[in-house]
Amino acid sequence: MRPATILLSAALLLMSAAPAAAVDGTSTTTVGVAASISLSGIPATISYGTNRVAGDTPTAPFTATVTTTNLLGYSLTVLTSDMTSEAGGTIAASATSYAVSSAATGFVTACAVSCPVVDASTPVVLGTKPTSAIGGDAISVTPKLTVPSVASGTYTGTAVFTASTL
């Protein structure tokens, strides 16, 4: 069986509500539309600025866009690592929080004000939505770092933003 045939069969199975038309005396036309998902607008690096001191709360807002044709919708999560310095200092992941300041209608979020990061192994669910707008859903995300009292140095970390079909 050719790959295209398998994919088409799979799409037909999933998209049971695929556009279909039946008129007396004519043949039935069916088309399978495969699901897709995209995520864009994630800054390659999130910078909290320079010369920060303990107690500072710098933010680095950006707008992500999620587009999917999946019937069940999507979720957007973020997993944040601890930040470390070359001298061995650590800023715990829990010093970071995320807020969703605005999002597409229907985007369900518990982070309208702020979602703190529990630890480096627990992702923050920024929100979920059943299907997306055709042009994509714009989601304004504001990461915030509460700079703790740590040894001076240059700290680096990772934030993994995941868009998942449901």
User: What residues line the site for other proteins (CB under 8 A)?
Assistant: 1, 3-4, 6-7, 9-11, 13-14, 16-17, 34-53, 62, 65, 67, 70-73, 75, 80, 83, 86, 125, 130, 143, 152-166
CB 44 → other proteins: shortest distance, Å?
Answer: 4
Q: How far is CA 117 from CA 39, 68, 75, 125, in A?
A: 21, 26, 17, 10
Closest to other proteins by CB, 12 vs 25, is: 12
CB 163 → other proteins: shortest distance, Å?
Answer: 6
Please measure the distance between the N-terminal and C-terminal CA atoms of the chain and give it in whole angstroms. 28
CB 25 → other proteins: shortest distance, Å?
Answer: 26
CB 24 → other proteins: shortest distance, Å?
Answer: 23
Closest to other proteins by CB, 49 vs 113, is: 49
Give the Cα separation of 157 and 135 in Å (integer). 32
Closest to other proteins by CB, 13 vs 21, is: 13
User: What distance lies between CA 143 and its chain's CA centroid?
Assistant: 13
Q: How far is CA 126 from CA 66, 69, 139, in A?
A: 12, 20, 9
Give the Cα separation of 8 and 134 in Å (integer). 22
Closest to other proteins by CB, 25 vs 61, is: 61
